[in-house]
Every structure is written in structure tokens, then in C-alpha cells.
């Protein structure tokens, strides 16, 4: 089904979604990661458009108590937020289990039922899952119970993150979590993928069958606003680098999937070859014992820059000769669009979702595998100083236009009830029969 920006998308919608503390009004913290940035941009678009859509966010917080709690923490005319306190011991019943007979929807039955009551009380037109995780699984099941259509944006592939961070879970726990992501295809009215690359991966490695109701909707990005941020008004840019050097920038949170060891490998190899190159990495490496040694080594070869607001991120990108995205798996990192917006060339690994767009629009030489530092440096040297293909920039600016993308989402939300699967009525009956003994009866 093809969607467009029509007047029908302006129909008032009640949207219930997973929320983030950084998206609370007057929050002093900048959003961390793609899903938080997406949520903030979506809310801002709704507010600026004048449409009276209602947005309810549920923020998950793991706590050390044994009691599940839900309380409203913010309310205005069109927005409200709840904080959902999920006891870590209950989370661990799934993530740390060694038993093969554990079923997540039973282990978390009381939490799912509490969220089901919330969904029933709020009466949303759609439950929107912005990415996937523990809370989003529980919201998925709650929406199924309440008979509300679910639209999920596959911001990443959870199974891939579980694979990379498998040390956090027991082997059996990881199997259960992998199965939880597979449930999406049986329940969601619409699954949104950010590109064909991620949808193909999901079909092959997660769903293991072709999902029925899918749409490809690119990541939204406001190019003009980001360009304005790079100007910084009267504030002088804090990034004054030696123009004689070739400056390579990396912007990535510190975790395994972002592949910081590859950046260190490239910086070491460049230093060994005495290349006049300097690496600048925007991240925060913890001082904890497991990462302390890496941090000392990292600081020897790269310029570590503390995380910053979007205005400074814009000026950082502008100050670089090249932006590098070496991720082990990354569906649609915003930094690629940020660099493109400012005319800064960007190199991505073969495991970044833009590979098909780069390949189809003249950007093949900007896809570099960082696993072999010596070869990667040679590949980067070949494109050093060259602008990226104009056709690629034009395509990305058109495909990722934020207003068009957000209106497409609203149109999908409006159509979601028509795309629910009839089999879901059967699932709801089975749910009540199976988990009834786990849920306190109403007096």
C-alpha cells in the first residue's frame, strides 16, 4: 500500500507509545539514540502542525522492588506521560532463566495486565512501538489483549543486539527474548522498516517467513533545521582543528554494536603509518574496570569528545573532513544524514542500513569495511577530499524529508485498524484462558 500526504492524515488520532525521559517537556537531557530523537521530532512535528493528536508515552524504569507500579508523571492538553516501574527480579525471570519451560507472557502476566488496563482506560486508536525491547513486548501483548491495532517501527533488529550483547543474558533467556521479537509478525497490524536492507534481514533471520503487513518508511530528518544549527548564531564554534591534518569524526554511544574497537584499530594503524590524520570520537567511555584499559588506550590515539547538544553536533560534523560510521549492525543512524546535510563526506561499514542507497546512487566507494585497518585506510585514502555523489545527496534529502515521513506515519496509524489480522481475536481468547490463574481476580 502506498501512502501520501493527504488531508485524511490530519484526522485526530490518540496514540499510545513507549516513551523516554528525555522527551519529557523541559527535560534538561538531550535524547540518546535514534528512537529518542525520533520520538522528540515526531512530537514537535505534531505540535507545530497544529493537529490535535493526543500522545501518551509510557516510560519503563527497572527497579529493585518487587512491586509493579504505574503512575502519571506529566499531563497537558495533548500530551501525557506515565512511568512504569518494572521490578528487576521479575525482568530476570525471563532474561536470566535457565529453565526451558518459562513463557515470557506468563512470567510477566501481571505487568502485561496492568498495561492492558492502561490501554483500555486511554482508548488509543493505535499503540505505536518505537523500536523493541522489554517494555515494547509488554505493550505489544497488552494491545493484543485490548484489541487495539499495533504499529511497530523496527528502529533496529533486537535479535542482532541480543547476539552482540549475549553476555547480559543466560543462553535460555536469550532464546526467549529472540522468540519475543518473532511474535511481532503474528500480532502487529503494520510493521514499518526503515529500509529494504533491514526488512530483508528481519525476514531471513527473525521472522523466518515473509511478514504480511509491512511498509518501508525512511528515517525522518529535518535537513534545513540541522543546517541552521550548524551556523550557531553568534556563538563561535568550539572546534578549531589544525587544517593541515585530515580530520575524521565518529559520533556513537559506547557499546559493542557501534564498534569502537574498529575505530581504535584504524587510529593505531594511521599512527603507525605516520599519516597526518586525526580521529575525533564523540562518546562517553565509562571509567568502570571492564572499560578502563580500553579508555586509556583510546585516549592515546583519538581525541575523545564529551556528548553534546544537537547544535554542537552540527558544528562538529561541519568541522570534520569525513564522518565514519563503523557499526557492526546499524539500521539507519542519524549521523549519516547529519553529515550529508552539511556536505561532509561520510563512510559507512557494510553493516549499516544505507548500503543499498549508497550502492544505487553512486556511493559504493564510501562503503568501507573497517575490520581490516590497513585496507580500510587505503580505501578511505582513495576518496579523501572528494565530495559525495550529488545524486546520493538529492535522493536522501527527498526520501527522508521529515514532514512527508511523519504524515505517512499518521496515515498508516489511521489505516491500521483495517489491517489487523482476524486471528488476533483467537489469540485474545487463548490469552485469557492461559494466564487467568496468574492475574488477581477483580473483586
Those residues with Cβ within 8 angstroms of residue 298's Cβ, 6 or more apart along the chain or in another chain: 260, 264, 281, 285, 304
Q: Residue 205's closest CA among 273, 169, 137, 156?
A: 156
DSSP annotation of 250 reads E
pLDDT of 212: 76
- Domains belonging to the chain, first-starting first, are 7-220+401-438 (3.40.50.2000), 223-399 (3.40.50.2000)
Which residue in the block uniquely carries the three cell numbers 492492558? 116
pLDDT of 381: 97
Those residues with Cβ within 8 angstroms of residue 122's Cβ, 6 or more apart along the chain or in another chain: 14, 16, 56
Q: Residue 150's closest CA among 18, 342, 24, 341?
A: 18
**Cα separation of 209 and 197, whole Å?**
16
Pairing of strands 246-251, 322-325: parallel
pLDDT of 2: 42
- pLDDT tens for the 443 residues of the chain, in order: 444 444 444 578 999 999 998 888 877 776 677 888 899 999 989 888 888 899 999 999 999 988 999 999 999 989 999 999 999 999 999 999 999 999 999 999 999 999 999 999 999 999 999 999 988 999 999 999 999 999 999 999 999 989 988 999 999 999 999 999 999 988 999 999 999 999 999 998 998 877 678 999 999 999 999 999 888 766 667 788 888 999 999 999 998 999 999 999 999 999 999 999 999 999 999 988 888 999 999 999 999 999 888 889 999 999 999 999 999 999 999 999 999 999 999 999 999 999 999 999 999 999 999 999 999 999 999 999 999 999 999 999 999 999 999 999 999 999 999 888 664 554 455 545 555 555 555 44
> CB of 305 within 8 A of CB of 280?
yes
Terminal-residue alpha carbon distance, the chain? 46
pLDDT of 8: 44
Identify the burial level of 394 via C-beta atoms within 10 angstroms of its C-beta, where 0-12 means exposed, 13-18 middle and 19 or more buried: exposed
Consecutive H or E run containing 157: none
Q: What angle do CA 369, 372, 377 make, to 5 degrees?
A: 75
Those residues with Cβ within 8 angstroms of residue 177's Cβ, 6 or more apart along the chain or in another chain: 94, 95, 104, 158, 162, 169
pLDDT of 6: 42
Q: What is the CA radius of gyration of the chain?
A: 23
> CB of 7 within 8 A of CB of 115?
no
Amino acid at each position: 500500500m502506498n501512502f501520501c500526504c493527504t488531508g485524511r492524515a490530519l484526522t485526530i488520532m490518540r496514540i499510545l507509545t513507549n516513551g523516554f525521559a528525555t522527551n519529557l517537556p523541559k527535560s534538561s537531557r538531550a535524547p540518546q539514540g535514534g528512537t529518542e530523537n525520533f520520538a522528540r521530532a515526531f512530537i514537535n512535528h505534531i505540535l507545530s502542525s497544529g493537529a490535535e493528536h493526543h500522545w501518551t508515552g509510557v516510560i519503563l524504569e527497572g527497579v529493585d522492588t518487587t512491586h509493579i507500579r504505574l503512575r502519571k508523571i506529566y499531563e497537558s492538553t495533548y500530551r501525557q506521560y506515565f512511568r512504569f516501574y518494572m521490578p528487576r527480579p521479575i525482568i530476570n525471570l525471563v532474561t536470566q532463566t535457565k529453565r526451558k519451560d518459562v513463557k515470557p507472557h506468563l512470567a510477566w502476566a501481571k505487568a502485561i495486565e496492568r498495561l492492558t488496563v492502561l490501554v483500555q482506560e486511554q482508548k488509543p486508536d493505535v499503540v505505536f512501538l518505537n523500536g523493541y525491547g522489554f517494555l515494547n513486548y509488554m505493550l505489544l501483548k497488552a494491545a493484543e489483549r485490548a484489541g487495539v491495532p499495533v504499529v511497530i517501527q523496527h528502529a533496529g533488529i533486537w535479535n542482532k543486539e541480543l547476539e552482540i550483547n549475549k553476555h547480559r543474558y543466560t543462553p535460555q533467556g536469550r532464546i526467549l527474548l529472540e522468540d519475543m521479537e518473532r511474535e511481532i509478525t503474528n500480532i502487529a497490524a503494520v510493521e514499518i522498516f526503515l529500509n529494504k536492507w533491514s526488512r530483508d534481514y528481519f525476514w531471513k533471520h527473525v521472522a523466518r517467513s515473509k511478514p504480511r503487513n509491512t511498509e518501508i518508511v525512511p528515517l525522518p530528518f529535518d535537513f534545513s533545521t540541522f543546517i541552521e544549527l550548524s551556523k550557531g548564531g553568534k556563538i563561535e564554534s568550539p572546534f578549531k582543528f589544525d587544517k593541515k591534518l585530515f580530520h575524521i569524526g565518529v559520533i556513537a554511544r559506547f557499546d559493542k554494536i557501534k564498534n569502537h574497537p574498529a575505530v581504535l584499530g584504524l587510529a593505531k594503524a594511521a599512527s603507525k603509518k605516520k599519516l597526518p590524520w586525526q580521529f575525533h570520537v564523540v562518546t562517553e567511555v565509562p571509567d568502570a574496570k571492564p572499560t578502563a584499559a580500553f579508555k586509556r588506550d583510546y585516549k592515546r590515539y583519538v581525541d575523545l569528545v564529551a556528548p553534546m547538544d544537537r547544535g554542537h553536533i552540527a558544528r562538529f560534523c561541519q568541522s570534520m573532513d569525513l564522518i565514519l560510521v563503523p557499526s557492526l549492525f546499524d539500521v539507519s543512524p542519524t549521523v549519516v544524514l547529519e553529515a550529508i546535510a552539511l556536505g561532509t563526506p561520510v563512510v559507512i561499514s557494510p553493516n549499516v542500513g544505507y548500503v543499498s542507497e549508497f550502492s544505487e546512487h553512486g556511493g559504493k566507494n564510501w562503503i568501507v569495511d573497517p575490520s581490516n585497518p590497513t585496507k580500510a585506510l587505503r580505501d578511505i585514502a582513495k576518496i579523501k577530499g572528494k565530495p559525495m555523489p550529488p545524486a546520493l545527496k538529492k535522493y536522501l534529502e527527498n526520501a527522508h524529508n521529515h514532514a512527508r515521513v511523519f504524515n505517512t506515519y499518521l496515515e498508516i496509524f489511521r489505516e491500521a485498524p483495517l489491517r489487523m489480522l482476524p486471528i488476533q481475536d483467537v489469540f485474545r481468547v487463548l490469552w485469557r484462558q492461559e494466564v487467568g490463574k496468574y492475574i488477581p481476580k477483580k473483586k
